[in-house]
């Protein structure tokens, strides 16, 4: 039998689609719900567990009560044991207590083989505080901000890694960083990341993300070329959603426009017509201007994500209304080279949409300079 620890932070990512750039703290969760946010961590955990359903008879699962694991496992027909009774609503203290119970559960036939958890960087910090590097861990990405290297690139990929472990395929272990940022500073456009420690993670090159690389691009001449190409090819009738990140910020600066470094802005006819947009605001724009909305996004350095890290406003509902040709990916060749051949990743909340956007995509790497680059973990 393979012994799996399983924890969900049900509030992870709650602030993403409504533009709150995080979910840490009761006040932020309250504000997120007031803005119409819906929990997504459970559904992302479901995607990972779907890969494990054929192995139900080979699994012993230890979990926490209610939405922290019990409800989903019961619904999907897994055999499990609840080792922690969580509060309602659950808190970060429940994550810590549940992880400690799983590692120290004396009634378990043997220590857990791996702790699988759904959350964001705050959840990874809680897990680290609870167990340090006592057992291997793997995160199902569900948070707004995911800088840590303990997460799979997508929920589906998390399931694939655990499947390999169950089948006793050779999976090496690496010590990877647990990172988190100051959410209050993050909402003001400042990324202040800190390393809190390291945990053991099953290392699968295609399926587990790297620690996010920080810092502004130094190749300003290349960035200038990219920006000028986008500007010269903007249609006055179209509305351009400009994504987060320093490469997109350089484009906005070149146009002398105010920019939300960690949000989504809309540009039309050379002016910003909406700043720091939420999912609902973007959906309204698409409804009002069908066929005339384009998306400009960049690549997260070191990780390769173009959707699903810090831009949850670009949800499956939004992306389903855009053709692949309406999505402009901009990045320097240096940033792409740093991926060491790993594909770009689309990690929306709809696996079918992720597959539709997989294959190859044109990346703008200069003025009339393009690279066809693979998208999707199976590419």
pLDDT at 111 over 80: no
Give CA–CA dist 262/182, Å, rounded: 13
What pLDDT was estimated at residue 106?
Answer: 44
What pLDDT was estimated at residue 1?
Answer: 83
Q: Residue 349's pLDDT band (boundaries 50, 70, 90)? A: confident
Mean pLDDT for 351-375 is 90
Contact of 197 with 132, CB cutoff 8 Å: yes
pLDDT at 190 over 70: no
Beta-sheet strand order (sheet of 59-64): 80-84, 59-64, 2-8, 114-119, 137-141
H or E element at residue 351: helix 351-356
Q: Residue 186's pLDDT band (boundaries 50, 70, 90)? A: low
At residue 116, the 3 state secondary structure works out as strand
Mean pLDDT for 68-72 is 97
pLDDT at 217 over 50: no
Average pLDDT of every residue of the chain: 86
Instruction: To the nearest 10°, report the CA torsion of 201, 204, 209, 214.
Output: 90
pLDDT at 265 over 70: yes
What pLDDT was estimated at residue 321?
Answer: 95
Among 3-12, 210-219, 243-252, 303-312, which is the least confidently predicted range?
A: 210-219
For residues 49 and 171, which has the higher predicted lDDT (pLDDT)? 49
Mean pLDDT for 345-354 is 89
Mean pLDDT for 221-239 is 92
pLDDT at 379 over 50: no
Q: 183-189 long-range contacts, Cβ below 8 Å, gap at least 24?
A: 183/21, 183/22, 183/24, 183/25, 183/28, 183/145, 186/21, 186/22, 186/145, 186/262, 187/20, 187/21, 187/22, 187/262, 189/260, 189/261, 189/262
Q: What is the DSSP pairing of strand 172-181 with strand 193-203? A: antiparallel
Give CA–CA dist 300/346, Å, rounded: 11
pTM of the model: 0.68
Q: Is the peptide bond before 89 cis (omega within 30 degrees of 0)?
A: yes
For residues 145 and 342, which has the higher predicted lDDT (pLDDT)? 342
Mean pLDDT for 138-158 is 86
Q: Residue 128's pLDDT band (boundaries 50, 70, 90)? A: very high
What pLDDT was estimated at residue 337?
Answer: 87
For residues 172 and 371, which has the higher predicted lDDT (pLDDT)? 371
For residues 190 and 163, which has the higher predicted lDDT (pLDDT)? 163
pLDDT at 295 over 80: yes
The encoded tokens of residue 245 equal 């990140």
Counting residues of the chain whose pLDDT is more than 90, the rounded percentage is 54
What pLDDT was estimated at residue 317?
Answer: 94
Mean pLDDT for 357-379 is 86
Q: What is the DSSP pairing of strand 239-242 with strand 293-298? A: parallel
What pLDDT was estimated at residue 274?
Answer: 96
pLDDT at 310 over 60: yes
Q: Residue 218's pLDDT band (boundaries 50, 70, 90)? A: very low
**Which residue is listed with tokens 């533009």?**
19
Give CA–CA dist 62/355, Å, rounded: 31
Mean pLDDT for 201-220 is 64
């Amino acid at each position: 039998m393979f012994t799996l620890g399983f924890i969900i932070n049900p509030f992870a990512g709650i602030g993403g689609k409504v533009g709150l750039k995080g979910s840490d703290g009761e006040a932020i969760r309250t504000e997120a719900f007031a803005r119409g946010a819906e929990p997504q961590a459970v559904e992302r955990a479901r995607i990972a567990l779907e890969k494990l359903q054929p192995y139900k008879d080979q699994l012993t699962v230890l979990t926490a009560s209610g939405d922290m694991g019990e409800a989903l496992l019961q619904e999907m027909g897994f055999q499990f044991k609840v080792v922690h009774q969580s509060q309602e609503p659950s808190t970060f203290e429940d994550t810590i207590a549940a992880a400690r119970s799983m590692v120290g559960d004396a009634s378990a036939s043997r220590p857990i083989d791996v702790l699988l958890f759904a959350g964001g960087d705050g959840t990874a910090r809680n897990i680290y505080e609870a167990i340090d590097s006592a057992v291997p861990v793997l995160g199902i990405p569900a948070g707004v901000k995911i800088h840590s290297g303990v997460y799979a690139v997508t929920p589906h990929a998390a399931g694939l890694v655990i499947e390999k472990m169950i089948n006793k395929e050779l999976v090496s272990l690496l010590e990877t960083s647990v990172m988190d940022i100051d959410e209050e500073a993050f909402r003001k456009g400042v990324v202040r990341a800190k390393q809190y420690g390291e945990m053991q993670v099953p290392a699968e090159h295609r399926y587990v993300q790297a620690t996010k690389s920080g810092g502004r691009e130094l190749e300003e001449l290349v960035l200038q070329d990219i920006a000028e190409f986008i500007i010269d090819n903007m249609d006055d009738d179209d509305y351009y959603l400009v994504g987060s990140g320093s490469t997109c910020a350089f484009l906005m600066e070149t146009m002398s426009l105010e920019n939300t470094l960690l949000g989504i802005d809309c540009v039309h006819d050379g002016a910003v017509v909406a700043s720091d947009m939420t999912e609902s605001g973007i959906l309204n724009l698409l409804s009002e201007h069908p066929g005339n909305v384009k998306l400009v996004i960049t690549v997260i350095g070191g990780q390769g994500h173009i959707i699903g890290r810090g831009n949850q406003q670009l949800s499956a509902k939004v992306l389903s209304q855009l053709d692949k040709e309406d999505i402009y990916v901009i990045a320097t060749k240096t940033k792409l080279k740093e991926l060491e051949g790993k594909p770009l990743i689309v990690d929306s909340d709809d696996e079918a949409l992720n597959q539709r956007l997989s294959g190859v995509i044109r990346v703008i790497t200069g003025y009339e300079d393009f690279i066809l680059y693979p998208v999707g973990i199976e590419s």
